[in-house]
Amino acid sequence: MRTTISVIKADIGSLAGHVKVPRELLDVCGDSLSRALKRGIIKDFHVTSCGDDIDLIIAHNKGVDSSVVHELAWRIFRAAANLAKERHYYAAGQDLLVEAFSGNIRGMGPGIAEFEFQERPSEPIIVFACDKTSPSAFNLPFFKIFADPFNSAGLVIDPKLHGGFKFEVHDVKQAKRIFLGCPEELYDLLALIGVSSRYLIKRVFRKDGEIAAVVSTERLSQIAGRYVGKDDPVAIVRTQSGFPATGEALEAFVMPQLVPGWMRGSHRGPLMPVAQRDAHPTRFDGPPRAMALGFQVSDGKLLGPADLFDDVAFDESRRMALEISDYMRSHGPFEPHLLSPEELEYTTLPQVVERLKKRFEPIE
Ligand code: 13P
Ligand code: 13P
Ligand code: MG
Ligand code: MG
């Protein structure tokens, strides 16, 4: 049986600044998806949030890029944004950048990660959702999950993983893509994805072509032409039986790597793995959060979720993330806590610099 999982996310308004999605907005989404389920348009759904971002996790059989599913999500976000505007929630409609739906939700503001597969006899998946960072946050952990034998034991000891994985990498500057196989092109892969402000892992495939993972890589800033918030990403990973184990996928998030985002989308900070109940970034609007919900996909149904970072085993990562937060914060408005000029291009900083331009004079 072929099943499609679509995770579609948007920030359409939040409580007390960019902190948290109000319950009533999540209810608007849940009610609409319940109606779509009753009408047989989708097979199952789960609505959640990470910080100020709503995540619609939808199981259906309409394939990727389905205009029916995309339009459903678009209408839901519009309805929730209308309520957010009425209630004067913060940044109401933030991620809805165009007025009318035109066939595909990509390029319209919301982020989307989706894939279709033939359900295995048992089909565990993990939905990752982040707030206060960008899709580049998945480069390092996805490299670890699918190419680093020190992270994923299965690459060494499981014959089904031993052949390695193929990475689809997008050059977001040139709107081009390249496929690289690992382990054979491991150093080439790293040469690109280490420059995570430009090269993003979009998908990962097993060598037999089977889809393993997908990341939302919409670039809000490039769509809007001006800064409208970071494009807080989502991703989906298949685990076990021919894919990395659930615990191997989670292990890649133990180290709180430095990611761009945090306050005003302009600072580098540690990505902290948290339970959903702790996914409401407050300190300097952060630090950036990652949550992980585990599901069993069963005949198109989503059984779960299991809140996978809700485990004392991640306490030390969280503690380390807080220590790194103190250290990074102590840099104040200086790089490398502040992002590089190129990454700040779409923030409000250029307006400040513009005012000083005419006072610059040649050095004698
Ligand atoms: P079980 O033997 O508990 O199924 O675990 C197998 C496994 O792969 C754990 O990573
Ligand atoms: P979001 O991208 O999560 O809306 O946050 C924007 C921001 O400015 C945080 O300080
Ligand atoms: Mg916001
Ligand atoms: Mg956000």
More reliable by pLDDT, 227 or 30? 30
- Return the CATH number at 114: 3.30.70
Joined tokens for residue 181: 């196989």
83 located within any domain: yes
- Counting ligand 2 atoms within 8 A of each CB, the residue from 52, 344, 348 with the most, and so the one to mutate, is 52
Joined tokens for residue 40: 């047989």
- Please work out whether the CB of residue 206 comes within 6 Å of at least one atom of ligand 2: no
For the stretch 263-288, pLDDT in tens is 999 999 999 999 999 999 999 999 99
358 located within any domain: no
Per-residue confidence band for 100, with pLDDT thresholds at 50, 70 and 90: confident
Q: Would you state the pLDDT for residue 148?
A: 98
Q: Which of 9, 132, 202, 230 is catalytic?
A: 230
- Nearest-10 Cα torsion for 12, 233, 259, 150: 160
For the stretch 303-329, pLDDT in tens is 999 999 999 999 999 999 999 999 999
Please tell me the distance from the alpha carbon of residue 203 to that of residue 324, in angstroms, as a whole number: 30
Please tell me the distance from the alpha carbon of residue 270 to that of residue 343, in angstroms, as a whole number: 17
Q: Would you state the pLDDT for residue 220?
A: 67
Q: Which of 9, 11, 131, 166 is catalytic?
A: 11
72, 98, 118: which is the final residue of a domain? 118
Residues 99 and 124 in one domain: no
Please tell me the distance from the alpha carbon of residue 254 to that of residue 157, in angstroms, as a whole number: 22
Residues 168 and 254 in one domain: yes
For the stretch 209-224, pLDDT in tens is 999 999 999 876 677 7
For the stretch 185-205, pLDDT in tens is 999 999 999 999 999 999 999
Please tell me the distance from the alpha carbon of residue 12 to that of residue 228, in angstroms, as a whole number: 12
69, 92, 118: which is the final residue of a domain? 118
Residues 258 and 317 in one domain: yes
Residue 299 has pLDDT above 90, yes or no: yes
- Nearest-10 Cα torsion for 320, 325, 328, 333: 170
Please tell me the distance from the alpha carbon of residue 205 to that of residue 326, in angstroms, as a whole number: 38
360 located within any domain: no
For the stretch 50-61, pLDDT in tens is 999 999 999 999
State the residue range of the domain holding 160. Answer: 119-351
Residues 103 and 216 in one domain: no
Residues 51 and 107 in one domain: yes
Q: Backbone phi, then psi, for 58, in 5-degree steps?
A: -125, 130
- Counting ligand 1 atoms within 8 A of each CB, the residue from 240, 241, 246, 251 with the most, and so the one to mutate, is 240
Residues 141 and 88 in one domain: no
Q: Across all residues in the chain, what is the average pLDDT?
A: 95
Joined tokens for residue 151: 């992270």
State the average pLDDT over residues 75-82.
98
Domain count, the chain: 2
356 located within any domain: no
Question: Any idea which of 26-30, 287-291, 338-342 has the lowest mean pLDDT?
Answer: 338-342
361 located within any domain: no
Q: Would you state the pLDDT for residue 99?
A: 81
205 located within any domain: yes
Residues 52 and 188 in one domain: no
186 located within any domain: yes
Q: How far is the CA of 265 from the centre of ligand 2 (A)?
A: 6
Per-residue confidence band for 229, with pLDDT thresholds at 50, 70 and 90: low
Residues 6 and 24 in one domain: yes
329 located within any domain: yes
Residues 202 and 346 in one domain: yes
99, 118, 137: which is the final residue of a domain? 118
Return the beta strands (E) in the chain as ranges: 2-10, 44-50, 53-60, 111-118, 123-131, 165-171, 176-182, 199-206, 211-215, 234-238, 258-261, 267-270, 272-273, 289-298, 301-307
Residues 225 and 297 in one domain: yes
> What is the rounded end-to-end Cα distance, in angstroms, of the chain?
74
Element at 300 (helix H, strand E): none
Residues 162 and 30 in one domain: no
Give this prediction's pTM. Answer: 0.97
Please tell me the distance from the alpha carbon of residue 289 to that of residue 277, in angstroms, as a whole number: 11
Residues 323 and 218 in one domain: yes
